[in-house]
């Protein structure tokens, strides 16, 4: 059977709460940053459930030997934040995946054409087989940035079936593009909004995630 893009919106009250805080235009940048960090933490918690490789070991408690299921440190774990805004989710993801390697990928969007251009690519030439990749990108809107990131990753040996994306707000154009080319991919998002406006912003969305995180103006 052909695989199909998996998109999960975890029904978690803390994810809903922090999404509400992030959506509110009256939320000041420091609180917005905390909200995105919390969303990074909770979405990562949900996303790694069936993704983190484990191994069965025996540990010695103070009383007796005991079977233990531990995270397997030999399987490479990677987080790829898409700059700028992916840095906000990275902070939360890193608290759960302290041993993951972080490869920054910087994209800037041309506000007229809505096309993404890469200004920083710290990805290695090749990823080891079985590498688990978590991409952090708060806004999946037109799909331009995430498609460019996926193309760079798969060119370097990343398996989309071992890749998870965490996102705060996702819109149908990005999901359609990802589903066509990477049907084995899995996405965890706080919400799916219905549409984009003529500037490529998600409606209702939360505005410009990068500007709100870093207190800048577009």
Please state, in angstroms and rounded to a whole number, the distance separating the CA atoms of residues 167 and 205: 12
Considering only 77, 141, 158, 175, the residue that binds ligand URA (CB under 6 A) is 141
**Site size with ligand URA, rule: CB under 6 A:** 10
Least gap, CB of 161 to ligand URA (angstroms): 26
Query: Closer to ligand URA at the Cβ: 10 or 207?
Result: 207
How many residues make up the chain in this entry? 218
Least gap, CB of 168 to ligand URA (angstroms): 9
Contact 153, 89 (CB under 8 A): no
Residue 202 engages ligand URA in binding (rule: CB under 6 A): yes
Least gap, CB of 81 to ligand URA (angstroms): 14
Tokens of 79: 């987080």
Contact 205, 190 (CB under 8 A): no
What mask, x for binding ligand URA by CB under 6 A, covers residues 75 to 94? Answer: ----------x---------
Considering only 81, 160, 179, 205, the residue that binds ligand URA (CB under 6 A) is 205
Would you state the torsion angle of the CA atoms of residues 15, 20, 22, 25, taken in this order, to the nearest 10 degrees? 180
Secondary structure in 3-state letters for 9-30: CCCCHHHHHHHHHHHCCCCCHH
> How, if at all, do strands 139-140 and 101-102 pair?
unpaired
Tokens of 48: 């790694």
Residue 139 engages ligand URA in binding (rule: CB under 6 A): yes
Query: Closer to ligand URA at the Cβ: 8 or 214?
Result: 214
Residue 107 engages ligand URA in binding (rule: CB under 6 A): no
Interface residues with ligand URA (CB under 6 A) are: 85, 139, 141, 200-202, 205, 208-210
């Amino acid at each position: 059977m052909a695989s199909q893009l998996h998109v999960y919106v975890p029904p978690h009250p803390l994810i809903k709460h922090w999404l509400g805080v992030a959506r509110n235009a009256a939320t000041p940048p420091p609180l917005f940053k905390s909200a995105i960090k919390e969303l990074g933490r909770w979405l990562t918690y949900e996303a790694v459930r069936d993704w983190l490789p484990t191994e069965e070991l025996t540990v010695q408690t103070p009383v007796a030997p005991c079977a233990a299921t531990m995270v397997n440190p030999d399987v490479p774990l990677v987080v790829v934040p898409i700059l700028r805004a992916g840095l906000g989710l990275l902070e939360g993801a890193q608290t759960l995946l302290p041993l993951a390697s972080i490869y920054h990928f910087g994209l800037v969007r041309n506000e007229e054409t809505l096309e993404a251009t890469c200004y920083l690519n710290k990805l290695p030439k090749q990823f080891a087989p079985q590498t688990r990749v978590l991409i952090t990108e708060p806004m999946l809107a037109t799909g331009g940035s995430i498609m460019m990131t996926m193309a760079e990753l798969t060119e370097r040996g990343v398996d989309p079936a071992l890749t998870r994306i965490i996102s705060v707000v996702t819109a149908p154009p990005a999901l359609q593009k990802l589903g066509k080319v990477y049907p084995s991919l899995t996405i965890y998002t706080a919400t799916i909004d219905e549409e984009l406006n003529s500037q490529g912003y998600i409606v209702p969305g939360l505005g410009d995630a990068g500007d709100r995180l870093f207190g800048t103006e577009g």
